[in-house]
A and B are shown apart, each in its own frame.
Chain A
Amino acid sequence: MMSKNLFLVSLRENLKRRVWVIFVTFLTLFLCFPGYLSLSLNSMKASLGNGYMQEDLLMFVYRSMGLTEGLMVLVVCLGSFAGLQAFAFLHQRKKVDFYHSQPLTRQFRFLVVYVNGILIFAGCYLFNLVLGMAVAAGYGCLTGTVFLQGMKSFLLFLPLFLCLYHFGILAVLMTGNIIIAVLALGTFHIYEVALRGLFVIYQETFFHTYSYRSSENWWHTLTSPVEIFTRISEITESFTYREDVYRTVPVNGESLLLLAALAAVSLGLIFALYLIRPDESSGRSLAFARTGEAIRILLLIPLSLGGGIAIYAASGASPVFGILGIAFTAVLCHMLLQIAFEFDLRSVVKRKFSLLLSAAAALLIFVIFRQDLMGYDDYIPDKEKVESVSLHFFIDNTNQSYTWIREDGWEISEEDYILEEMRLTDLDKVYALLEKRESYEEVEAYLMEYGSEDQQRVYSGLTAAYHLKNGKTEYRELRIDLKGAGRQIDDVWQLPEYRGATQQILSDNFLSSYKIEEISFYNGLRSFDLKAADFAAVTEAYCKDVRETSFTETYASRALGTLELHGEGLRNTNYTNRWEYVIYDCYRHTVEALEEAGIAYDNYIPGEISSIEVIHTDNEAAEAAMEAGEVVIWEEYKTYHSYTDPADIEAILAACIPQDGSHFSMQEQTERDYLVKMYCPAMYDRADIYHLEFLIGQIPEIAVLH
């Protein structure tokens, strides 16, 4: 039975032995709270003079008391330092003999040392927090909100400190030397992240169908307290740009629980390790000699894989260099580890078994990835296991919105929106399309033989998200020949789930739901505003066209311009949400609706034209010169000709479309060797030079240049 008095006396005596920790912790937090606050507040007040806003000071104090990056870094450092120092006596035989021969159980000693570490941090933190609040009060900035913010931050930092503290202790317990302990601590923190990162790099490098979405948040670990902590409160964001400091920073409960669990598990581990740690290991690298082999292998395999992939990439994807890289890195790292583990240069030639085992394992992993022995690229899940599928075509240009708005008002990317919202359940149609996918090798071979200019096959990327019944989602980046798979694409394209997810405009009550205030038509050169009375008719016509037009038809069509919609921000009324939808020449209802609204889509002419300049670039000759290794000065391959005769101008303009508009078409509609510049007197709102391009095969005789 532990005597309460003995415990307190032991705490006091142990505190005397940790004066340095107290000093460093106190000083750091003193500089951080009262020191920093008083200097900053004084400086702010001085720089603002009498015109300073009390609100500014208050916001500053509030933010300084909160979860800032700076405080997080301090807590990480203090926790690690306290952890490394707490049981550092185990690294010195003299101290081990002294403490462990005393009539105190190890459990008691552990408790005394452990509790003191927490008391030092908590005591120094709270004391300096109070001092900081006193400073704030001196500037009239101490409010209940500020006080609560300070206390809340302390309570949230505490599990982070505990984890760091435990990890520091763990590093000391598993080693017999403080330098090795510091290295071990670093390894604990980065091991999982590094391993996950390496896995992602290998997938990216070797799997052609790999989608970065497969590894979204790959750095989210279970064992890195700092990384978990940043998830608790999105600390980096809160520090960098959140100006609305009074807004309560949402605490991610799941991450907080994970951090608490990590603290609890690591506490159990260090307690058990303290009891079983061989005391004779003082001065050695590893306290548990038997773990040496496992640790060596666990370090050597990822290090070798890392070296292998780096050399593989540097050599231009040579497998031979990759293998040599693995072998070289394995040997080098093995030697370094041996020196670290045994403090003996001669030991580099020992433990060959673990070297061979690690190198072989790394090599095997390399080969598995390189040859895709797990069939990653061929993966298509069984239909029975699939709940639904989302497809995002790279070439689906029907929507040009910069942002997509989720129902909760948050803006996300088009791809995110589609892959999150689309749920295709007609798996027969989806799988019929997916069966038409072509392998990377097939596509490469085709492009190698015929080049990308060949129009027999047109490849498009396609992200497929398989939403499995087990709740997981598997992503793959596939390649589809748009011409060869036209029918299958049409089948999927016409599915209401597909159109609904790719076109927000098709959603019910779009105009009212998204508070659309302004609609205009832009033909690539000029913008025409619609009257509010025409909003519904135009959008209705557009929706009808979208629903009725197949992919094949749209693909063959020419873009006429875009419909631009502006709506009030759902989350922030100061912000405007914007959608852009492409109108193709096959969208007859839309064109009619625009005409009825008084807008002619082909009205490119802004007014008076002073001249037209046609620029021809001999791309073929320039590319041939480049291939021959010559230095190409593009100007030398260009021919210019200006036209001022109204008849010539009319003929040229009749064969042109605006350059901006031409890019919305899914396939090339304009001559790539020609650019037309239209010069107008500088009296119009946009610019005085407008860029146009000739439609394919429609270059007037007078504009043909060589």
Chain B
Amino acid sequence: MIRIEKVSKRFEEIQAVDNVSLTIREGNVFGLIGTNGAGKSTLLRMVAGSIRQDAGEISIDEEPVFNNVKALREFYFIPDEPYFFANATPVDMEKYMSTVYLNFASAPYYEYLKKFDLDRKRKISTFSKGMKKQLALICGICANTKYLICDETFDGLDPVMRQSVKSIFANHMEQRGLTPVIASHNLRELEDICDHVGLLHKGGVLLSKDLLDMKCNIQKIQCVFTTPEEEERAFRSLDILQKEKRGSLYTITARGSREEIVGRFACVDTVFFEVLPLSLEEIFISETEVAGYDVKKLILS
């Protein structure tokens, strides 16, 4: 388990991460979502031991991460811009990785290269951005660590490749209990892979929940009320995050399970009423807007 407790990090005048607490359990796919500059990369770099937090504690399986080999052995970190040696080929990288990661799986490494159609003898510097990300992922998976920390790794992968990676993740999760930690602002990418999400906003955690719980605890309602009094009554009973009216049709985003919402509308007279599932993107927008963040400008532009 990766435990992040009250972690803060400041870069001169910028508070990049502010008192963040998160727990990443084993066997789940943890998605770290947040807007640009929310502190995702900084948090992941701290989790990876690449930079040191100013305050708080980060531990992996109860071992502090920074400069601790015992903890560092437990994960492989794929930064947003993975690094490969100058003029190195995938073969060179395998040779190096196998000296650093004692359980590095060389045979599967070459199999994956073949599967992903990456030439083992071609210079990595001639690879496209997507190919480099694939190679970084292959290195990460074959490092055979317990956790795989990916920062924006899925960006730049084509849909087919994304599906392949997801399926590899699923296999490794099943076979050896791999726990991927994936940071992205591409919400649609995380939606169908993550079990748990942490939502970072302006350096702090807005929420950290199981995706299923989150989806179940926030609902989109479309309804038409018979009278303004009925409308008032319904609004009073709901924990509304967002409300929009077009003609007489209301689109409301409110907290609560589907059952709770339906129960509250049972005693409200409506012409039309429907509870719809929210996409992760919609949940993200709703939660960040509550925090006063004009997310549409960034995410939807």
The answer to whether A binds B is yes
Which of B23-31, B96-104, B257-265 touches A? B96-104
Closest to A107 in B: B67
Using known A-B contacts A13-B99, A97-B48, determine if residue A104 contacts B83 with beta carbons closer than 8 Å: no
Does B96 contact A13, Cβ atoms closer than 8 Å? yes
Instruction: Decide yes or no whether A10 CB sits under 8 A from chain B.
Output: yes
Known: A13-B99, A103-B72, A289-B12. A98 touches B83 (CB 8 A): yes
In the bound complex, residues from chain A placing their C-beta under 8 Å from that of B68 are: 105
A280/B11 contact (C-beta < 8 A), A98-B79, A101-B50 known: yes
Q: How far is the CB of B237 from chain A (nearest CB, A)?
A: 48
Q: Is the Cβ of A104 less than 8 Å from the Cβ of B51? A: no
Output the least CB separation between A272 and chain B (Å): 13
Q: Is A106 an interface residue (CB 8 A)?
A: yes
Main secondary structure of the interface of A (DSSP, over half): helix
What residues on B are CB-neighbors of A93 within 8 Å? 79, 81
Q: Which residues of A contact B49 (CB under 8 A)?
A: 100-101
A280 to chain B, nearest CB (A): 5
Q: Does B69 sit within 8 A of A, measured CB to CB?
A: yes
**Bitwise interface map of B from 100 to 137 toward A, beta carbon under 8 Å scored 1, else 0:** 11000000000000000000000000000000000000
Q: Does A95 lie at the interface of the complex (its beta carbon under 8 Å from any beta carbon of B)?
A: yes
A95-123 to B contact mask, C-beta < 8 Å, 1/0: 11110111111110000000000000000
Shortest distance in angstroms between A318's beta carbon and chain B's nearest beta carbon? 42
Within 8 A of A (CB), among B63-102: 67-69, 72-73, 75-77, 79, 81-83, 85, 96, 99-101
A100-B100 contact in complex given A94-B81, A94-B83, A289-B12, C-beta closer than 8 Å = no
B209 in the interface (beta carbon within 8 A): no
What 0/1 readout, one digit per residue, does chain B (3-40) give for beta carbons within 8 Å of chain A?
A: 00000000110000000000000000000000000000
Q: How many A-B residue pairs have CB under 8 A?
A: 65
Residue in B50, B68, B72, B81 whose Cβ sees the most chain A Cβ within 10 Å: B50
Cβ contact within 8 Å between B81 and A103: no
Q: A13-B99, A102-B72 are in contact. Are A95 and B83 (CB under 8 A)?
A: yes
- A91 CB to nearest chain B CB (Å): 13
Q: Which residues of A contact B162 (CB under 8 A)?
A: none
Task: Give the interface centre of A93, A97, A100, A104 by most chain B CB atoms within 10 Å.
Answer: A97
Partner of A94, one of B52, B82, B96, B99: B82
User: Which of A92, A94, A95 has the largest count of B CB atoms less than 10 A from its CB?
Assistant: A94
> Which chain A residues in 6-42 approach chain B with CB under 8 Å?
6, 9-10, 13, 16-17
B-facing residues in A27-84 (Cβ within 8 Å): none
B83 touches A102 (CB 8 A): no
B45, CB-defined interface residue at 8 Å: yes
A278-B51 in contact given A10-B99, A13-B96, A103-B72 (Cβ < 8 Å): yes
**Nearest opposing residue in chain A for B47, CB measure:** A101
Considering the chains assembled together, what is the distance between the CA atoms of A641 and B277 in angstroms? 127
Q: Is A279 an interface residue (CB 8 A)?
A: yes
Q: How far is the CA of A10 from the CA of B98 in the complex (A)?
A: 11
Whether A105 touches B67, Cβ cut-off 8 Å, given contacts A13-B99, A98-B79, is yes
* Chain B residues closer than 8 Å to A280, beta-carbon distance: 11, 42, 45, 51
Contact with B along A345-382 (1 / 0, CB 8 A): 00000000000000000000000000000000000000
Residues of B close to A9: CB separation below 8 A = 99
B93 smallest CB distance to A (angstroms): 11
**Chain A contacts of B72 at CB under 8 A?**
101-104
Cα(A215)–Cα(B45), bound, Å: 53
Q: B99 to chain A: which residues have CB within 8 Å?
A: 6, 9-10, 13
Which chain B residues border A10 with CB–CB below 8 Å? 99
Complex partner residue of B77 from A6, A97, A106, CB under 8 angstroms? A97
User: Are B79 and A97 in contact, CB atoms less than 8 angstroms apart?
Assistant: yes
| Assembled-state Cα–Cα distance A92/B76 (Å) | 19
Q: Which of A9, A16, A102 neighbours the largest number of chain B CB atoms within 10 Å of its CB? A: A102
Could you tell me the distance in whole angstroms from the C-beta of B152 to the nearest C-beta in chain A?
Answer: 13
Minimum distance in angstroms from A80 CB to a CB of chain B: 22
Shortest Cβ distance from B65 into A: residue: A101
Q: For the complex, give the distance between the alpha carbons of A17 and B83 in Å.
A: 13
- B residues within 8 A CB of A98? 79, 82-83
Q: Is the CB of A94 within 8 A of B51?
A: no
**How far, in Å, is B60 (CB) from chain A's closest CB?**
11
A96 CA to B96 CA, complexed, in Å: 16
Are A94 and B79 within 8 A (Cβ)? yes
Contacting B at CB under 8 A, from A405-435, are none
A17 / chain B contacts, CB cutoff of 8 Å: 85
Min C-beta distance of A285 to chain B, whole Å: 12
The smallest beta-carbon distance between A116 and chain B, in angstroms, is: 15
How far apart are B22's CB and chain A's nearest CB, in angstroms? Answer: 18
* Cα–Cα, bound, A16→B86 (Å): 11
Min Cβ gap B66→A in Å is 9
Q: Which residues of the other chain, B, contact A275 by a CB distance below 8 angstroms?
A: 67
A103 touches B45 (CB 8 A): no
Inter-chain contact B50/A279, CB cutoff 8 Å: yes
The answer to whether B77 and A278 have CB atoms under 8 Å apart is: no
The answer for the CA separation of A94 and B78 in the assembled complex, in Å, is 10
Q: Are A279 and B81 in contact (CB under 8 A)?
A: no
Q: How far is the CA of A298 from the CA of B230 in the complex (A)?
A: 74
State how many angstroms separate the Cβ of B146 from the closest Cβ of chain A. Answer: 12
Give B68's nearest chain A residue, CB to CB.
Answer: A105
**Is there an interface contact between B69 and A103, defined as CB atoms closer than 8 Å?**
yes
- Which chain B residue lies CB-closest to A6? B99
Tell me the smallest distance from the CB of B32 to a CB of chain A, in Å: 16
Closest Cβ of chain A: how far from B42's Cβ, in Å?
A: 8
Task: State whether A103 touches B73 (Cβ < 8 A).
Answer: yes
Q: How far is the CB of A92 from chain B (nearest CB, A)?
A: 8
Give a binary string over B191-230; 1 marks a CB under 8 Å from any A CB, 0 the rest. 0000000000000000000000000000000000000000
A104/B69 in contact, CB under 8 A: yes
User: Counting chain B CB atoms within 10 Å of each CB, which of A13, A275, A280 scores highest?
Assistant: A280
Q: Are B11 and A106 in contact (CB under 8 A)?
A: no
Can you name 16 A-B residue pairings with CB atoms under 8 Å?
Answer: A9-B99, A94-B82, A97-B77, A97-B79, A101-B76, A102-B72, A103-B72, A103-B73, A103-B100, A104-B100, A105-B67, A107-B67, A275-B67, A279-B52, A280-B11, A280-B42
Instruction: Name B residues whose Cβ lies closer than 8 Å to a Cβ of A.
Output: 11-12, 42, 45, 48-52, 67-69, 72-73, 75-77, 79, 81-83, 85, 96, 99-101
Q: A92-B83, A96-B51, A104-B72 are in contact. List 5 more A-B contacts (CB 8 A).
A: A93-B81, A97-B45, A100-B50, A101-B48, A105-B68
Q: Which residues of A contact B (CB under 8 A)?
A: 6, 9-10, 13, 16-17, 92-98, 100-107, 275, 278-280, 289
